[in-house]
């Protein structure tokens, strides 16, 4: 854990003098290679050399540039609440970090609460399923398969990709990029010399940038002046490990806080800002599974305190844990300071009155023609391609835009190669 905390400080704030500066210099070439590989991958997807899948329903991606800790889960929870208000059946597609590895597809929730344990699903998917039982939650390493399962088997009308900014195999209609307002681009470097998965310039792919943990004292670069501003707020009620809800001011006295999340200090500072008296804090690895030894570490803090505080993400893995003092989970929700109307307008634009994907315009289809034979074309059933029956060619549709280029065409069964 000491190494994890040191590396987070090193990668976000930059190196100190001496050995850290030398290490930073040694890591820079690896960061350059990492950044080039990332750019090449994006370019391959844009050119169509790496294939992507277009689901038949609207897709919203929630992601970030940093390796974690920007508040994706509260954002996804906000989107689920929005979809419920609109009467739209939404599905969360997640890798399921912290759970057992699933090479296939695992349905965590089909609209009636969690179907599997948090250990199997992963803490964040299980938390979303528990707090939003009306939603569909599907996890697995094959997120294309997850998307197909959510639509075909569970009737999803809107897909939410959790941590999807770099997952380009799934095409999306709206790309939401979350940045921590306190340090939007960390030290400006990609892994391993920095904390970014992609160079800061990758933000240009986003349809909307949302600055989380914003407060009036934050100084932002001019390039982020038009970003939406949001903050994470603690809920008005705390939840015991048994699920019982109590007012936030009910626990009195001294507290110890513990968690296994990407940005623990932010959580502890929020607790202090809300008036909790923290006598001790304990940090574990992100997405950790609590072993008996770790539980003993937590219990060891009980002598001088009256109660424990932890995050909901940690609490879902502690339901059957017996601690010597009461333990309360602190709910976290997303609250927009500015730009909520912009976001809701973009979401509304994805849906028609029935909550389904907006079809390609008939007027557009009437003016399109095959670039090879100049004949009529039509779209396939799920509107992912434009077809020419005469030439037996298929032209891709990307971001709702038909790409009518011979170089982009694929031959249909029984057809000749494009250009012949």
Could you report the per-residue pLDDT of 329-368, keeping only the tens digit for each?
999 999 999 999 999 999 999 986 344 445 566 656 777 8
Residues 192 and 282 in one domain: no
Answer yes or no: is 311 a known binding residue.
Answer: no
Checking if the pLDDT of 232 tops 60, the result is: yes
Q: Is the pLDDT assigned to residue 113 strictly greater than 90?
A: yes
Distance CA 379, CA 231 (A): 42
- Is 4 annotated in a binding site? The answer is no
Whether the per-residue pLDDT at 98 is higher than 80: the answer is no
Give the model's confidence band at 262: pLDDT under 50 very low, under 70 low, under 90 confident, else very high.
confident
Question: What is the predicted pLDDT for the residue at 100?
Answer: 66
Looking at residue 362, its pLDDT comes to 62
User: Both 168 and 309 in a single domain?
Assistant: no
| Strand 410-411 to 393-398 pairing | antiparallel
Q: Give the domain extent around 384.
A: 362-411
Number of domain units in the chain: 3
- Average pLDDT (44-57) is 91
Do 394 and 252 belong to one domain?
Answer: no
119 is in an annotated binding site: no
- Say if residue 64 is in the same domain as residue 169: yes
* Residue 121 annotated as lining a ligand binding site: no
Residue entry with tokens 């930059």? 14
> 225 and 268, same structural domain?
no
Determine if residue 181 is labeled as part of a ligand binding site: no
Q: Residues 261, 346: one domain?
A: no
Contacts 24+ apart (CB under 8 A), 35-42: 35/190, 35/198, 35/199, 38/166, 38/190, 38/197, 38/198, 38/199, 38/202, 39/198, 39/199, 41/168, 42/168, 42/202, 42/205
216 lies in the same domain as 345: yes
Q: Please, what is the average pLDDT of the chain?
A: 89
Q: Tell me the CATH number at 289.
A: 3.40.120
The verdict on 210 and 302 lying in the same domain is no
Find the CATH number of the domain harbouring 379: 2.20.25.10
Same domain, 276 and 214: no
pLDDT at 363: 57
| Within-domain flag for 355 | no
* 25 belongs to an annotated ligand binding site: no
């Amino acid at each position: 854990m000491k190494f994890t905390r040191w590396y987070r400080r090193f990668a976000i704030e930059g190196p100190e003098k001496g050995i850290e500066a030398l290490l930073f210099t040694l890591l820079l070439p690896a960061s350059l290679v990492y950044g080039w590989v990332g750019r090449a991958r994006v370019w391959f997807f844009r050119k169509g050399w790496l294939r992507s899948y277009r689901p038949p329903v609207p897709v919203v991606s929630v992601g970030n540039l940093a390796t974690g800790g920007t508040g994706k889960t509260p954002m996804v929870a906000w989107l689920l609440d929005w979809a419920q208000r609109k009467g739209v059946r939404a599905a969360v597609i997640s890798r399921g970090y912290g759970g057992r590895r699933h090479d296939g597809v695992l349905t965590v929730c089909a609209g009636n609460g969690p179907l599997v344990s948090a250990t199997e699903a992963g803490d964040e998917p299980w938390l979303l399923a528990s707090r939003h039982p009306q939603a569909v939650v599907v996890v697995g390493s094959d997120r294309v398969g997850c998307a197909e399962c959510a639509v075909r088997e569970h009737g999803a009308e809107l897909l939410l990709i959790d941590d999807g900014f770099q997952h380009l195999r799934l095409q999306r209609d709206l790309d939401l990029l979350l940045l921590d307002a306190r340090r939007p681009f960390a030290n400006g470097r990609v892994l391993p010399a920095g904390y970014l998965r992609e160079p800061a310039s990758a933000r240009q792919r986003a349809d909307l940038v949302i600055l989380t943990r914003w407060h009036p004292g934050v100084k932002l670069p001019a390039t982020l002046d038009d970003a939406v501003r949001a903050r994470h707020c603690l809920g008005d009620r705390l939840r015991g490990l048994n699920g019982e809800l109590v007012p936030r001011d009910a626990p009195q006295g001294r507290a110890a806080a513990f968690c296994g999340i990407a940005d623990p200090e932010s959580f502890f500072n929020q607790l202090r800002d809300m008036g909790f008296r923290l006598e001790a804090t304990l940090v574990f690895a992100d997405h950790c599974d609590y072993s008996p030894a770790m539980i003993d570490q937590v219990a060891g803090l009980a002598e001088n305190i009256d109660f424990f505080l932890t995050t909901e993400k940690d609490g879902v893995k502690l339901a059957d844990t017996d601690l010597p003092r009461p333990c309360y989970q602190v709910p976290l929700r997303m609250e927009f300071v500015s730009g909520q109307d912009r976001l809701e307008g973009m979401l509304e634009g994805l849906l028609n009155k029935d909550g389904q994907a907006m079809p390609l315009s008939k007027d557009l289809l009437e003016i399109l023609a095959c670039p090879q034979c100049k004949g009529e074309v039509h779209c396939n059933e799920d509107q992912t391609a434009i077809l020419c029956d005469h030439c037996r060619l298929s032209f891709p549709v990307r971001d709702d835009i038909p790409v009518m280029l011979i170089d982009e065409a694929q031959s249909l069964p029984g057809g000749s190669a494009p250009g012949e």
